[in-house]
């Protein structure tokens, strides 16, 4: 069944990649809403309330799609990978259990927030939003524990040999890989949301000439969240690289197309891996960069693909290009965010700076490019394992007939849903300022 | 399993099974009514057609996301507590579960998209049609699934799953349970809506509630006859002496809830209807226990390690210490006396 495995991976990738956009916006948008509403409560300037209400409308749409696509995923874990779930469902379950509480809390308070503008007092309404923001972030952090265990299956030998005493919660939440993964990916949600929203206002300013106070303030709020998260990304990213180098050297080698184990390994920028000849074409090498990135020691040895059996190599093209895309997009957004705040020091410095506004338009999708690319590096870099060095993805896949239909159905369903959603979002306008 | 493994005086496995059942009950009683709202939306007719749809949308709007999360809980408890059962179900129910997901995704999407359109505009009607259709598909499949796991049509031998589709899916029993689930959703929705409306529209939903009540009362009687012929496991339980008490309670509740609707005692009717549906579901669940997939998969032979079960149970008091006050607050804010003014 060669096609079951490819089809299942494609369906999983498409569903998760789709869901992730809404999950990230579900984490990021409440932060923007809360800042706007807090400014309203303090200053009583009606612009800020309009802003919070407009963002809340968008969040209502996005959250609904995130909720249903997330539900689909909880089923798809079993539908596509039943043998993985039969083996490890109880182990990753505690992460999903806690995430379930967080998500439930988020859904309750989002209902209060979206429909409660006239039924709750100002502070009570803002507090509802705060609960949404906190539980959204908690969901993100908790659910990553499941992925972190698949990357670093702590205690798996106990699960195999002495299952009746295996403590899954301890394995999940004492996993050192979890913290850095969850912080790095949750910050990415804020960055992706902030740049996506900022781009909308930059587009309005540069193309449509919409530069009123309301929109310029909206842009500033987005960029405040944007610059903090974008600057934090390389720092947490570096910690992630150290973690990956220690726990999944195969992944690091494939991200960097490092064929030969070496001391003082260079950091590769760009380039096209050529696995057949074990070389990289057109790449730029920063001497000793990888050794430094992975260990802080420029002369340290970094494991290459030569120590990995050929049938355990992840897909070099996908991991290498995704890694480059993640870092590249992350760097560009960070620099543009800093540029924005330098320009903002002058009066009207951002309002009339068309070059900056165009740069922000370009950055609009880049936060999500970075987020999705980072996720692809993480998951494709784990291949061919579904649980690193324990269970192969091919051994986990469903034997069921009909996966061709389900993968087609999901592509059609989510594509149509995405198109309809973008169209709906595009119609949400600010009330006249 | 070691009998010392108790949780609050209950054997751990029973406690987990009960948790699963309560989560499922909460899902049926809350989200079931949201599906029912979709069914009535689809069947809306008469002079107050669009008004009916508007009332349904306002009733569901603020709460459906929270109600929907109960299903996620059910799924998560299933794969956390009974991983091999979840794996086997995922293989056996590959196609129906995908159809269910399609229904869930379309319903949620169409509902939220529609809420951004002007009532009764052509686009509003288009989303309404999708919302209604998806609200029929999803509960039907969920109901048929419960029947499939009791039917004996799904076999799991040495980890290999085989499905006798004629027994699991296309049997009169499965189709009827699917239909009963639809009727239950429609019944709950109509009953809840009588409490939340007034005047003519309230009468509309009262009539609908009485119609659905008749179906919910008659179908289980037909089902019992079918169960006797098709599902020996369930029948053995229903025919037993101790089953007569809950059955008698169920019959009393069914008569009571119908009477309350008839007599326009709406709040009483709502409580009795919820109890009637819960008793039906529990009757099935207690007959099914300890099997998860009859006849090969039981709770005991598919349970996760005890520390995992305990972790799951131990989270409950903390989790619900947050969730229950939050839910009460949500329903108090939106299901109180005043009419709804959704601003989103």
How much is the ipTM here? 0.90
Instruction: State the total domains in chain A.
Output: 1
A262 bridge partner residues: A302
* Assigned domain for A125 exists: no
Q: Considering the domain boundaries, does residue A227 fall inside one?
A: yes
In a domain? residue A15: no
User: Is there a domain that residue A72 lies in?
Assistant: no
Work out the percent of chain B whose per-residue pLDDT is above 70.
Answer: 96
With a CB-CB cutoff of 8 Å, which residues 369-428 of chain A face chain B? 398-403, 405-406, 409, 413-414, 417, 420-421, 424, 427-428
Are the Cβ atoms of A406 and B94 closer than 8 angstroms? yes
End-to-end CA distance of chain B: 52
A270 torsion bin: left (phi>0), alpha (psi -120 to 50), beta (else): left
pLDDT at B344 exceeding the cut of 50: no
Q: Does A163 touch chain B (CB under 8 A)?
A: yes
3-state secondary structure B274-309: HHHHHHHHHHHHHHHCCEEECCCEECHHHCCCHHHH
Q: Which of the given ranges, A74-78, B147-151, B221-225, has the highest pLDDT on average?
A: A74-78
Specify if A156 maps to a domain.
Answer: no
Domain that holds residue A233: 177-392
Chain B hits for A107, CB-CB cut-off 8 Å, are: 65-66, 68-69
Q: Is residue A69 part of a domain?
A: no
The whole-number pLDDT of residue A432 equals 53
Of B87, B106, B341, the CB nearest to A118: B341
Is residue B336 pLDDT above 80, yes or no? Answer: no
Q: In A295-376, where do the E strands start and end?
A: 301-302
pLDDT of residue B340: 46
Domains and CATH numbers, chain B: 9-334 (1.20.1630.10)
CA angle B49, B53, B56 (to 5 degrees): 140
- pLDDT for residue B166: 78
A90 to chain B: which residues are within 8 Å by CB? 79-81, 83, 304-305, 308
- The pLDDT profile of chain A, 433 residues, written as one tens digit per residue, is 457 899 999 999 999 999 999 999 999 999 999 999 999 999 998 889 999 999 998 998 898 899 999 999 999 999 999 999 999 999 999 999 999 999 999 989 998 999 888 888 889 999 999 999 999 999 999 999 999 999 999 989 888 888 888 889 999 999 999 999 999 999 999 999 999 999 999 999 888 888 888 889 999 999 999 999 999 999 999 999 999 989 999 999 999 999 999 998 999 998 899 888 888 888 888 989 899 988 888 999 999 999 999 999 999 999 999 999 999 999 999 999 999 999 888 888 888 888 999 999 999 999 999 999 999 999 999 999 999 999 999 999 999 888 889 999 999 999 999 999 989 888 887 765 4
Output the pLDDT for position A431. 66
Which residues on chain A are in Cβ contact (under 8 Å) with B116?
57, 61, 424, 427-428
In a domain, A398, yes or no: no
**What one-character DSSP code corresponds to residue A306?**
G
pLDDT for A356 equals: 92
Give the count of Cβ contacts less than 8 A between chain A and B: 238
Chain A residues with CB under 8 Å of B342 CB are: 115
Residue A416, in any domain of the structure: no
SS3 track for A254-287: HHCCCCCCEECCCEEECCEEECCCCEEECCEEEC
Query: Residue length, chain A?
Result: 433
Residues of chain B with Cβ-Cβ distance to A420 below 8 Å are 109, 113
């Amino acid at each position: 069944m060669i096609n079951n495995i490819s089809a299942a991976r494609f369906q999983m990738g498409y569903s998760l990649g789709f869901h992730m956009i809404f999950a990230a916006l579900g984490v990021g948008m409440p932060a923007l809403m809360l800042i706007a509403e807090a400014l309203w409560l303090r200053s009583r300037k009606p612009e800020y309330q309009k802003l919070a209400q407009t963002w809340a409308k968008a969040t209502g749409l996005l959250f609904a799609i995130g909720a249903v696509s997330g539900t689909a995923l909880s089923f798809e874990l079993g539908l596509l990978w039943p043998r993985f779930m039969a083996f490890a469902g109880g182990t990753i379950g505690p992460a999903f259990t806690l995430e379930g509480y967080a998500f439930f809390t988020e859904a309750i308070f989002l209902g209060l927030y979206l429909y409660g503008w006239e039924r709750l007092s100002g502070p009570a309404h803002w507090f509802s939003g705060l609960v949404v923001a906190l539980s959204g972030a908690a969901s993100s952090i908790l659910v990553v524990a499941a992925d972190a265990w698949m990357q670093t299956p702590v205690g798996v030998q106990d699960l195999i040999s002495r299952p009746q005493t295996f403590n899954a919660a301890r394995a999940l939440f004492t996993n050192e890989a979890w913290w850095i993964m969850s912080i790095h990916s949750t910050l990415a949600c804020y960055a992706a949301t902030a740049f996506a929203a900022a781009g909308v206002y930059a587009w309005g300013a540069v193309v449509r000439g919409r530069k009123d106070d309301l929109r310029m303030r909206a842009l500033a709020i987005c960029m405040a969240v944007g610059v903090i998260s974008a600057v934090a990304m390389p720092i947490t990213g570096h910690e992630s690289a150290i973690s990956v180098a220690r726990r999944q050297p195969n992944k690091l080698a494939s991200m960097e197309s490092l064929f030969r184990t070496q001391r003082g390994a260079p950091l590769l920028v760009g380039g096209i891996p050529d696995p057949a000849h074990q070389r990289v074409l057109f790449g730029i090498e920063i001497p000793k960069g990888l050794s430094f990135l992975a260990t802080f020691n420029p002369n340290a040895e970094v494991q290459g693909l030569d120590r990995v059996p050929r049938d355990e190599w992840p897909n070099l093209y996908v991991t290498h290009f995704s890694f480059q895309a993640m870092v590249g997009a992350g760097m560009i957004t960070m620099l543009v965010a800093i540029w924005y705040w330098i320009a903002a020091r002058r009066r009207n410095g951002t309002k009339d700076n068309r070059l900056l506004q165009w740069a922000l338009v370009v950055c609009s999708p880049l936060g999500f490019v970075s987020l999705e690319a980072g996720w692809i590096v993480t998951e494709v870099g784990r291949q061919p394992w579904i649980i690193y060095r324990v269970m192969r993805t091919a051994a986990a896949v469903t034997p069921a007939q009909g996966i061709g239909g389900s993968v087609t159905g999901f592509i059609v369903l989510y594509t149509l849903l995405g198109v309809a959603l973008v169209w709906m979002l595009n119609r949400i306008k600010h009330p006249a300022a | 399993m070691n009998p010392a493994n108790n949780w609050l005086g209950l054997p751990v496995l029973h406690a987990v099974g009960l948790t699963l059942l309560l989560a499922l009950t909460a899902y049926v009683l809350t989200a079931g009514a949201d599906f029912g709202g979709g069914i009535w939306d689809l069947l809306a007719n008469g002079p107050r057609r669009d008004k009916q749809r508007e009332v349904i949308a306002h009733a569901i709007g603020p709460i459906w996301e929270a109600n929907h999360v109960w299903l996620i809980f059910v799924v998560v408890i299933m794969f956390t507590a009974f991983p091999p059962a979840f794996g086997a179900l995922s293989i056996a129910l590959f196609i129906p579960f995908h159809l269910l997901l399609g229904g869930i995704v379309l319903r949620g999407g169409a509902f939220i998209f529609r809420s951004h359109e002007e009532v009764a505009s052509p686009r509003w009607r288009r989303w309404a049609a999708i919302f209604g259709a998806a609200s029929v598909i999803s509960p039907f499949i969920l109901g048929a699934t419960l029947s499939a796991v009791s039917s004996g049509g799904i076999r799991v031998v040495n980890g290999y799953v085989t499905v006798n589709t004629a027994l699991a899916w296309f049997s009169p029993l499965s189709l009827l349970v699917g239909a009963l689930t639809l009727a239950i959703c429609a019944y709950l929705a109509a009953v809840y809506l009588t409490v939340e409306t007034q005047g003519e529209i309230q009468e509309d939903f009262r009539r609908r509630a009485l119609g659905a009540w008749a179906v919910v009362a008659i179908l289980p009687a037909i089902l019992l006859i079918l169960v006797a012929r098709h599902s020996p496991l369930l029948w053995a339980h229903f025919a037993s002496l101790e089953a007569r008490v809950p059955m008698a309670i169920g019959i009393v509740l069914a008569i009571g809830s119908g009477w309350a609707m008839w007599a326009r005692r709406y709040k009483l009717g709502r409580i009795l209807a919820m109890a009637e549906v819960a008793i039906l579901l529990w009757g099935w669940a207690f007959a099914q226990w300890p099997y998860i997939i009859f006849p090969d998969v039981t709770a005991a032979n598919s349970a996760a390690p005890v520390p995992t079960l305990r972790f799951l149970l131990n989270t409950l008091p903390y989790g619900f210490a947050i969730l229950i006050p939050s839910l009460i607050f949500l329903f108090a804010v939106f299901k109180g006396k005043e009419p709804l003014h959704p601003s989103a």
